[in-house]
Amino acid sequence: MKQKHSKKHIAGLIVLIILIIAATALVVLNPFQYLKALQATPAASEDEGPVEVSVRVMKLEHVDLQNTIVGNGNVIDPSSIDVYSEVTGTLTSLAVKLGQKVEKDQVIATVDPSRAGVTYKESVIKSPVSGTVLLLPFVQGSVVSVQAPVARIGLLEDLQVVLDIAERHIGTVGIGTKARLSFKAYPGQVFDAEVIRLSPVLNPATRTLEITLKVQDPDRKVKSGMFPSVILNTERLEQVVAIPRSALLYSGSQAYTFTVGSDGLAHKKLIEVGLQVGDLVQVTSGLSVGDTLIVQGQSLMTEGTLVRILQ
């Protein structure tokens, strides 16, 4: 009985070992067959030819580039005249209002120079010219002196705009530089202007330079004290080659792009860049009018890549 039981035990072990070997063969041998199948795949793809990379392109043409400086200005009256009191005392009356037109020798205000224990005759302040009241810094009852103006009278004949520009722009602005002005009061309307004066000194606190512009306003729409948006036209280049900034690639400090040749392949072009205006960059060498520039997909390119141009 013991021998029969031992034989059955041995037979069971043999069957178990056979099952383990069979399972191992399924796990180990099949992956190798799978890898062999993968190794055979590239050979099939090589027979299909090189892979095309889809790109978008543009034909290069001559363009004009206009660089600008954008800022905010202040409309002033350069012919305005400050009116002072001849005595120190109390402002007893104001005979005019801000924005009111006055005639020469019209009474503007009166000042009482009396002090405690001493009474003096009131001093009358008159306008020295005909014009418009631009400033009234004091109210009735204020104490005024001979050093501070009681009023400012503007002739409003040739209004000007003053504007501060950053130090880095000084070299691009000069007498005669053209500008365009826009005002919130006149949406959609543009006023032409030009630079007529540059301050001889730089503001040390802000590192800016004050420039003055003359405004062309035959209809007298512009008012003193307005705050226009100013666009100064600085450098202008005509009939140059320019490309989108997004088409530029760099290897260190060397700029380059890719073009598509007549062979349908991508070609690397080393370029030199110049003026940058908005999203456009001037190309001073390396590209020519008529070249087909890759503007999308260029980051995937290498020299000789086969491309497919998307419409």
| DSSP assignment string, the chain | -HHHHHHHHHHHHHHHHHHHHHHHHHHHHHHHHHHHHHHHHHHHHHHT-PPPEEEEEEE--EEEEEEEEEEE-EEE-TT-EEEE-SS-EEEEEE---TT-EE-TT-EEEEEE--BTTB--PPEEEE-SSSEEEEE----TT-EE-SSSEEEEEE--SS-EEEEEEEGGGGGG--TT-EEEEE-TTSTT--EEEEEEEE-SS-BTTTTEEEEEEEE--TT----TT---EEEEEEEEEEEEEEEEGGG-EEETTEEEEEEE-TTSBEEEEEEEEEEEETTEEEEEES--TT-EEEEESGGG--TT-BEEE--
Spatial distance between the Cα atoms of 253 and 143, rounded to a whole number of angstroms: 66
pLDDT, residue 38, reads: 46
Query: Which pLDDT does position 34 carry in this prediction?
Result: 44
Give me the pLDDT at residue 44, please.
41
Q: Could you give the CA distance from residue 302 to residue 282 in angstroms, rounded to a whole number?
A: 23
The overall longest dimension of the chain from CA atoms, in Å, is: 151
Per-residue model confidence as pLDDT tens for the chain (311 residues)? 445 555 666 766 676 677 677 666 655 555 555 445 445 444 444 455 567 889 999 999 999 999 999 999 999 988 889 999 999 999 999 999 998 999 999 999 999 999 888 889 999 999 999 989 989 999 999 999 999 999 999 887 788 999 999 999 999 999 999 999 999 999 999 999 999 999 999 999 999 999 999 999 988 899 888 999 999 999 899 999 999 999 999 999 999 999 999 999 999 999 999 998 889 999 999 999 999 999 998 888 899 999 899 87
pLDDT of residue 220: 86
Q: Please give the model's pTM, rounded to 2 decimal places.
A: 0.61
pLDDT of residue 49: 58
